[in-house]
Structure 1
Amino acid sequence: TSAKVQSLRTELRLLFQDDNENTLDYFERLKTLMTEIDPECSDHWLKHKFIQKLRSDIRTRLDVDINLPIRDIVRKSQNI
């Protein structure tokens, strides 16, 4: 329903990687939510949101090409 999607979008706006959260766990949580909002969610949108909502200490050190596959971006962020 429209109300449920609005609620999920609000949840997405408030979702960020927690301080002690494993990067892969954060990615799975984000991906699950984004897929609930839009089952046809594009990889580009997922990559953008993943990077945008990473912990700032990881995001500032992450130097990746947005055109890489999402699994490579997640892997690179895990290694930081």
Structure 2
Amino acid sequence: MWHSALQNELNINGLSKYNGSIAIMLHSIDGKRIIDEKISGNNNSNTIKLPTIDITAGVYILIIESDTYSYTTKFCIEN
């Protein structure tokens, strides 16, 4: 799985192999929840695109969780 923030959107790839519910959360570095998306059922798309155009430039924490997987990373948005 990998992610990139390009052209005012956050692209998350590699989720199609996970069945069931997937939670995608984006928090500011001070803990404020910016995005909280739930994707249910089989995710047939390999890429999830989340808009970041209204998000202030800065450092953020991305959390992706399923029933069997958890991934957390820190990254920058440069809108």
With structure 2 as the length reference, what TM-score do the two structures score? Answer: 0.31
Higher normalized strand content (fraction of residues): 2
Structure number with greater Rg is 1
TM-score with structure 1 setting the length:
0.31
